[in-house]
Chain A
């Protein structure tokens, strides 16, 4: 990742590392339960201690997502969420945080392809977005996105998995900018009892393959898990556990409270990770 210095996300991760901790990366989908309230939810998450945000584009066929995120995406689409709405949320994050919190879009490829890859990259950059995470786009297929992102200095966050070979780790580390997203286990998004050992091994292997920054996602839901992952990863990515707080039938303000509370617990977990664990 020779161009990592130009990445705002990487800079943020370095800055946090300097203060002795990993970043908390929080995911929420745009448009759930509607666009205006998804903006409220994202800013609530930022105020409660998220360092980097991931804003999901709801998609009809989210093969990397478990039931929680599927339900939110389905509801968002039913409520009329559009791809361009993600830019509204990106803008809101930039404004709300005074540009200190990088906003990454997480999107399956077809909505971006349909929008126009170059046009999407341009509009994302104009909205103040940091880049994009692409769960179903591997570097091998990403020539068009990669060229557009390079031109605009946007982050290209690709995934690696416990099944990735050393060769693929090299390829992905080389192609990524911002960080490499390490999937903690083989599976889809969702909360899990524990984050397996495979995650730490994968982070180590991805770093050996040349990645400067590696964040871990899939299955982190508690402060304790965040503390565990925060010991060795540059960032702890949480999705389903946050989305779940918004899926209840409680009044909206109560749901926002729950979101803030869970975010706070995760942030506290990340904050204590390297003090109690005695790890580097």
Chain B
């Protein structure tokens, strides 16, 4: 087993538990996760956040809401998403031992098979139903990779809501296909041309829109970041990932996995999966953030390795920032992980030592991307490829330490259709296009 700090962890953990008066880590609720979270937003938004929280709490206690969401999960999204064992991929961690058995088995939670191609739809459908209940008619969203924008545009079409998606100009180029998808679905995509022209600036624009139009507009935030109640609410809408996976693992291998891993942008797919295992001490949790061109290069999105606690977009959390508290731009081959902060619950899990966070470079991610394509016939999202690379690393560490009979569960948060152009460029598959990847 990979080592985790033993004693201090339990102390911090007990303290937090006492603070939060929560029975279980999985049920800790906002506004604070340890010292992280909160509502660092203009007063103008507080009424809307209060209204949203009240509606969310009401929905949580309403079996009708749960039933409607379940029906959409099943009939529209295609849940439960399958659990797929990937032995040919796992063989690249370590071949079979003397007894012929593989020392490490790897299972993928197939969120890529959801309608719209990623886990993002889980949260979007939940929030869209709340929007209907609140009587609002317009939703706005930020998007980086375009997956959350596509999911929001989809739900808006399904439920008859007006939809505006803010997207950094840089990302509209990187993810042109998803821009077209959103427009086909009837959404308006607004390219953001201020600041770094990526996800963080798209969020700034969405917040400005929200402050102005909050009486009829809901900001359908796409991950477990932002002001309370978003971090908790979005986790709740994604906890189905972990709940299904837990049951599927028990059914398939008769026990819990030893390692649970996911990529961490804002952190929604990771938290959704982790949540079901937070209170199982024997399960090691790993989050993989974008190491970009390497931590030493300064061009990365590794908030835990290269950032420090601060406030951005409404929450206190780990953050890429300079000595003046100015946000430092993030970099990643994956638009969905290219964000300078991270959900406050992850900062809390990091500080209490319940989950470990490691950076994965662009090059490592792309290698794992190709490996999954060629060994299993599954083209992953580049975001998810970070988790695959991470699990190769953790798996090899386990084997080096003499571990055997280990079960590793990875969240395959999305499919790679949107990334085909990026990957083709990376691997030099396009005519006369020198690759940026093989440096």
Contact = CB atoms under 8 A, between A and B. Distances in A.
B200 A136 contact: no
Contact of A163 (B48, B204, B310): B48
Contacts of A159: 42-44
B325 interface: yes
A115 B325 contact: yes
A140 interface: yes
A110 B194 contact: no
B215 interface: yes
A164 interface: yes
Interface in A25-71: 59-64, 66-67, 70
Given A74-B194, A113-B311, A163 B44 contact: yes
Interface in A103-131: 109-115
A110 B38 contact: no
Given A110-B311, A113-B310, A161 B325 contact: no
B44 A165 contact: no
Nearest to A115: B325
A74 B194 CA distance: 9
Interface stretch (A8-16, A181-189, A232-240, A241-249): A181-189
Interface centre among B44, B200, B321 (most CB of A within 10 A): B44
A115 B326 CA distance: 11
A61 B204 contact: yes
Interface string B83-126: 00000000000000000000000000000000000000000000
Contacts of A168: 43, 46-47
Per DSSP, chain A at the interface is loop
Contact of A70 (B194, B211, B212): B194
A159 B45 CA distance: 11
B46 A77 contact: no
A61 B195 contact: yes
Contacts of B39: 138, 140-141
B324 A82 contact: yes
B325 A186 contact: no
A82 B323 CA distance: 9
Contacts of B190: none
B214 interface: yes
A201 to B, nearest CB: 15
A55 to B, nearest CB: 15
Nearest to B44: A161
Contact of A61 (B212, B323, B327): B327
B321 A110 contact: yes
Contacts of B41: 63, 136, 138
B313 interface: yes
A158 interface: yes
A183 B46 CA distance: 14
Given A137-B40, A164-B43, A61 B208 contact: no
A164 B208 contact: no
A153 interface: no
Contacts of A67: 194
Contact of B310 (A74, A82, A110, A165): A110
Given A61-B195, A168-B47, A186 B215 contact: yes
A128 B36 CA distance: 33
Nearest to B206: A63
A251 B323 CA distance: 33
B208 A186 contact: no
A188 B208 contact: yes
A172 interface: yes
B207 interface: yes
Interface string A69-109: 01000100100001100000000000000000000000001
B212 A109 contact: no
A160 interface: yes
Interface in B32-67: 38-48, 50
B40 A61 contact: no
Contact of A83 (B204, B211, B213, B324): B324
Contact of A160 (B43, B212, B215): B43
Contacts of A210: none
Size bracket, chain A contacts:
35 or more
A141 B32 CA distance: 11
B312 interface: yes
A59 B208 contact: no
A110 B43 CA distance: 17
A74 B195 contact: yes
B394 to A, nearest CB: 33
A210 B96 CA distance: 75
Nearest to A112: B325
A114 B43 contact: no
B436 to A, nearest CB: 26
A167 to B, nearest CB: 10
A264 interface: no
A115 B324 CA distance: 7
A114 B323 contact: yes
Interface centre among A60, A82, A110 (most CB of B within 10 A): A60
B47 A164 contact: yes
Interface in B204-234: 204, 207-208, 211-215
A70 B195 CA distance: 9
B195 A64 contact: no
B212 A161 contact: no
Nearest to A140: B39
Interface in B380-428: none
B279 to A, nearest CB: 29
Contacts of A137: 40
Contacts of A112: 325
Contacts of A110: 310-312, 319, 321, 325-327
Interface centre among B50, B208, B214, B215 (most CB of A within 10 A): B208
12 contacts: A62-B204, A63-B207, A110-B311, A113-B325, A114-B323, A114-B324, A114-B325, A136-B314, A158-B43, A183-B44, A186-B215, A187-B208
Q: Top 4 closest A-B pairs, CB basis?
A: A114-B325, A161-B44, A111-B325, A110-B325
Given A141-B40, A159-B43, A165-B47, 5 more contacts: A63-B211, A64-B42, A109-B311, A113-B311, A115-B324
Interface of A: 59-64, 66-67, 70, 74, 77, 82-83, 109-115, 135-138, 140-141, 158-165, 168, 172, 183, 186-188
